[in-house]
Amino acid sequence: MPPAHACNACKRRKVSHPSTRRSQSVRSIPVDSGQDDHTLGGTTDYTFQSSVSPQSLPPPGAESARRDSSHGLNFYPDPAHVHSTLQATAGTLLSPEPIADAVRKCVDFFVQYQFPNTPVVHEPTLRAAALLITAENVPPFASLISSASDFHQQVSYLRKFTLATALCASVMSVLPDRPPSQRVLLAASFLSASRAMLRRYEEHDLEHPDSTSLVIRMWHSAAMQNSTGKVGTSYHYHAEAAYLAQRMRLYNEMSVQEHPKLEVSSLRASFWLLYLADKTSAVLQSRPPILNEQFFKREFTLLENGHDDNFLLDPSRKVNENSLESRLLVGFHLKRRIWAAAANLLDDVRSLSSRQLAGSIQPLDVQQEISRLSELYLVLTSLADELPAWLRNPDHGSDWEDGQVTSYQNKCFWTQRSNIMTVFHCIRLVILQECIDNDFHALVGLNRQSISCATRKIEIGEPAVERIRRVGTILLHLVDNAENDTIERVARSQFDNLLDLLAQLDSKASDELAGGL
């Protein structure tokens, strides 16, 4: 009598046969921040199915093929299906706008308005990667994957697609010219696609990280934070990037120089951005720092800028001429030094407070320590005076003969200046409050009277309030005196966004935070 069940060899053959189809639903991020984590999807359940086919499997002998064949299983999402699903979902949300135009707008927006504060990616590489989403001027995505000569070439395509969709998710979550509801849905679709594609090569990515490994996770973190307010999930992505940077020893100049030249600039900037984010966390006490200098202090030799690093911005574009990138890097590192100085100062303030409460320091020593910290505070406040000329007055930051180039570059400088000065005033308020809470008023030049503390807070906050007031006044003037309907419509839309920003901070994260108060 024949056996009632297939033998083990037949079972293995059947399970691993290419025609066998397995699927896994990679659902989108929840639109409603009040949803439970296990009920993702709702009306935005973008399913990226894992259809195992000869075209989607890695070539024979590839690393992942060896790994999967040992278990007879492959649950990785099919790249072609992820791509087609994104085309369908994003295309529907964007209609009648072509998806190619929307993706190009995301890249342009990043390069002009976000690169000044996050200069972490090579512009030509990013623009080439964006073409994989739209399939413009390149073979169909499925053809690229199936024709890859080996697994490493396949991973190269997957990384580029994941990078481009992560960028779109991050930008879509804050793009000002779209209604908030559409921003959330678009960010969800691109983020889901990016996360699904990352899973396809995640183990390889963790074993062999490169600059995209860091940037993708940072953009996933930003998109998740902006579109859902899920602070824990957002922090997880950021933490992964920081751990990878530490494991790659990017704090060491020699380690960075071991990478291909095109990678060096992006790896360098990515580490400094992660380092800056850690200092931000230390100042605001929002999450545990990861890049603890105590662990690599002796080897912390990374330069701010390499002597022969490649440019990140595309030098063939006229708007990037006149040393735009090098000038933006000056501002970027100034902001990093401001955060680092603030973090070190606050760490000393909190340490002094702990020692005082524990009775392990004498009153005279406390006064001497406060005097020392006062000097550090003065050094911190003087950093704002180090703004270069093009950031002190961005309207005259570019003296290029071409008016369009001048306008473009001045907007880059204004973006960076606004970020730096906002950070500076925020830090001063945090330090002021910390000194008040710990009864270290003298550290910031105050006495214990409440009126002096309140007055100082107003002095710090007034410049920011004045800027907001002036922006609102200008927009109202444009609404009332617009020369045509288009200008009035755009000005009114931006004014509505400003009101929404002031009323709700236009942030899922702030809504979630406010809900806990």
For the stretch 294-316, pLDDT in tens is: 888 789 999 999 888 899 999 99
Number of Cβ within 10 Å of residue 389's Cβ equals 11
Shared-domain flag, residues 73 and 142: yes
Shared-domain flag, residues 291 and 398: no
Shared-domain flag, residues 439 and 470: no
Q: Which residues contact 85 (CB under 8 A, 6 or more apart)?
A: 46, 47, 48, 49, 193
**26 has pLDDT over 70:** no
Residue 474, CA atoms < 13 Å, CB-side half-sphere? 9
Confidence (pTM): 0.76
For the stretch 180-197, pLDDT in tens is 788 889 999 999 999 999
Shared-domain flag, residues 272 and 224: yes
Shared-domain flag, residues 87 and 188: yes
d(CA 323, CA 315): 10
Separation in Å, CA 140 to CA 47, 84, 105, 137: 21, 10, 22, 9
**64 has pLDDT over 70:** no
Shared-domain flag, residues 73 and 201: yes
Q: Which residues contact 474 (CB under 8 A, 6 or more apart)?
A: none
13 located within any domain = no
Cα 305 to its chain centre, rounded Å, is 21
Asked whether the beta carbons of 301 and 254 are under 8 A apart, the reply is: yes
Shared-domain flag, residues 473 and 440: no
Q: Which residues contact 317 (CB under 8 A, 6 or more apart)?
A: 123
316 located within any domain = no
Q: Which residues contact 412 (CB under 8 A, 6 or more apart)?
A: 112, 113, 115, 116, 324, 328
Cα 269 to its chain centre, rounded Å, is 12
H or E element: which one contains 118? Answer: none
197 located within any domain = yes
**17 has pLDDT over 60:** no
Shared-domain flag, residues 387 and 432: yes
250 located within any domain = yes
Query: How many residues in total does the chain contain?
Result: 517
Asked whether the beta carbons of 240 and 183 are under 8 A apart, the reply is: no
43: tokens are: 């009306």
Range of the domain at 487: 461-517
Shared-domain flag, residues 468 and 389: no
Domain count, the chain: 3
Q: Give me the DSSP letters along 423-456.
A: HHHHHHHHHHHHHHHTT-GGGGT--S-HHHHHHH
First and final CA of the chain: distance in angstroms?
72
For the stretch 193-242, pLDDT in tens is 999 999 999 999 999 999 999 999 999 999 999 888 888 899 999 999 99
Shared-domain flag, residues 274 and 132: yes
Q: Which residues contact 354 (CB under 8 A, 6 or more apart)?
A: none
Q: What is the pLDDT of residue 398?
A: 72
Residues 275-297: what's their mean pLDDT?
Answer: 87
Q: Give me the DSSP letters along 54-107.
A: TTTSPPTT-HHHHHHHTTT---PPPHHHHHHHHHHHHHHHHTTS-HHHHHHHHH
d(CA 409, CA 397): 8
120 located within any domain = yes
288: tokens are: 């545990």
DSSP class of residue 300 equals -
d(CA 431, CA 427): 6
Which has the minimum average pLDDT: 138-147, 401-410, 442-451?
Answer: 442-451
